[in-house]
Amino acid sequence: MKIALLGVGVVGGGVLDIVDRRDDMELKYVLVRRDKPELGSRAVKDIDVILNDNEVDTVVEVMGGLSPAYEYVSAAMKAGKNVVTANKHLVAHYYKELVSLAKEMGVAFRCTPAVGGGIPWLKNLERAARLDRIDSFCGIMNGTTNFILDNMHVNGSDFGEVLAEAQRLGYAEADPTADIDGLDIQRKCIISANVAFGACFSEEDVPVFGIRSIKACDIEAAVSMNRVCRILAFGKDCGGRVSAYVEPVFVASGELEAAVSKAMNIISFVTGLSGKESFYGQGAGRYPTAYNVVQDCVDVMQGVKSFYTDKMEDMKPDNSAEKHPYYVRFAGSDEWLESMTLEVCGDGAVICDVSVADMHAWAAKAKEVDPALFFAGIV
Ligand code: HSE
C-alpha cells in the first residue's frame, strides 16, 4: 500500500511513526502547509502531486476541519484512491456526499478513529448492525471533557487549568470549543447513528449541551446524590422514531461510565441478540488514534471496499419521548422551572421528568438570561 498523508499534527505524526515501522505499507507523501525539512522529499505542498501519482492508492486525511479537507478527500476519491480519515467533523457533515462518491468510484472509505479514538467502536457497531437491529447506543465519546470532569471530581481541579493540561497532552481539538461545547461529541453521535440506524442527521438537529459552564458546586451536587458527572451521547431506535442527543449526566456511581477516568472513553450498544456490549479504551491522543488509522489502512489492504453501512435515510431526531429528571442551576427566575422543581440541591434544583426535547429547548432560551446556566440529566 502506498499512502499519502494529509496533515502531520498530533495524529498525523503518530501515523507517520507507525507506518514507517511496517514493511507492508509505505508513506510516500506528506501534504504540509509549512516547510518540514525533517520529512525530506516526502513533504509536498501541492495536493495535485498526490492526486496525479498513480502509485498512491490510499489517502489518509488527518488535517481536521471541513475545508480544504472535503475538497481534497473528494478529489482523492475521484482519482480512484481509498480514503481513511480521523476527521469526525468532515464525516458527520458530508456523510452522504462522501459515502455516495466512494461507492460510485469503487473506493474504500473508512473512519474508525473518528469515533472513540483508539477504540474499535465503528467496526464493531457495523458487525452488530449486520446481524441484528441496534436498539440503542450510549457512551462517553470525548477524552478532553472526561479528563476535565474526572479531574474536577477527583482533584477538585479548576476547569481552565485542566483544559490547558488536556491541550498539552494532545487530547483537545485545535479549537477546544468543539470539546467543551459538546460539538465533537455531537459529530461522533451523528456518525454512530448513521452506522447504527442508517439515519442521516444534520448537526443543527441533534441537541447538545456542553460543560463550558460547569462549576465546582455542580460537581458537589452530583456527589451529594452519590453520582458522578459525565457527558454522554445517546442514540435510540424506537421503531421508526430515532432519538439522538448529547448532554451532561449525573451517572449513578455504580454504573460503568462513572468509573471511566482520565481521557478514557466507553461506548456501548444494545441489540436483542447480544444484549449490552461495551467498548472501553483510549478515546484521544496521538498513538491510540493513529493506531486506528493504520488499522483502517490494513482493512483496506485486506480488501474492505466500502463504508460501514449503505443505509442513508435523511431524518430528524425525535427526543420528545425520552424523559428523565434533571439537575438545573439557573440564576434567573422562571415559572416553568419553579413549577417543575422537586427539591433544591446546592446552588441548583432537581426537577421532575422532562423530555429531552423540552429541556434542551428551554435551556437554549434560558441561556440568553443566564449564560452560566448548567444542567445535567439524572438517569
Ligand atoms: N478532542 C477529541 C477528544 C479527540 O478529546 O476526544 C479525539 O476525537
pLDDT in tens, 184-200: 999 999 999 999 999 99
- What pLDDT, on a 0 to 100 scale, did the predictor assign at position 243? 98
Closest atom, ligand 1, to C-alpha of 113: 8
Closest atom, ligand 1, to C-alpha of 145: 5
d(CA 300, CA 115): 18
Buried b (16+ CB within 10 A) or exposed e, 158-191: ebeebbebbeebbbbbeebebbbbbbbbbbbbbb
* Residue 188 a catalytic site member: yes
Closest atom, ligand 1, to C-alpha of 289: 7
Residue 377 Cβ < 6 Å to ligand 1 = no
- The pLDDT tens digits of the residues spanning 270-300 come to 999 999 999 999 999 999 999 999 999 999 9
Residue 179 Cβ < 6 Å to ligand 1 = yes
CA distances 377 to 92, 282, 323, 326, Å, are 25, 25, 9, 4
- The pLDDT tens digits of the residues spanning 326-362 come to 999 999 999 999 999 999 999 999 999 999 999 999 9
Query: Which of 45, 188, 236, 305 is an active site residue?
Result: 188
- What pLDDT, on a 0 to 100 scale, did the predictor assign at position 236? 98
Tens digit of pLDDT per residue, the chain (379 long)? 999 999 999 999 999 999 999 999 999 999 999 999 999 999 999 999 999 999 999 999 999 999 999 999 999 999 999 999 999 999 999 989 999 999 999 999 999 999 999 999 999 999 999 999 999 999 999 999 999 999 999 999 999 999 999 999 989 887 899 999 999 999 999 999 999 999 999 999 999 999 999 999 999 999 999 999 999 999 999 987 999 999 999 999 999 999 999 999 999 999 999 999 999 999 999 999 999 999 999 999 999 988 899 888 999 999 999 999 999 999 999 999 999 999 999 999 999 999 999 999 999 999 999 999 999 999 9
Residue 113 Cβ < 6 Å to ligand 1 = no
- What pLDDT, on a 0 to 100 scale, did the predictor assign at position 69? 98
What cell was used for 11?
495524529
CA distances 63 to 12, 72, 84, 121, Å, are 8, 10, 12, 22
* Closest to 122 measured CA to CA, from 189, 181, 69: 189
d(CA 201, CA 312): 10
- Cut 0.95: pTM above it: yes
* Closest to 190 measured CA to CA, from 177, 206, 178, 176: 206
Helical (H) or strand (E) element with 265: strand 264-271
- What pLDDT, on a 0 to 100 scale, did the predictor assign at position 313? 93
- What pLDDT, on a 0 to 100 scale, did the predictor assign at position 46? 98
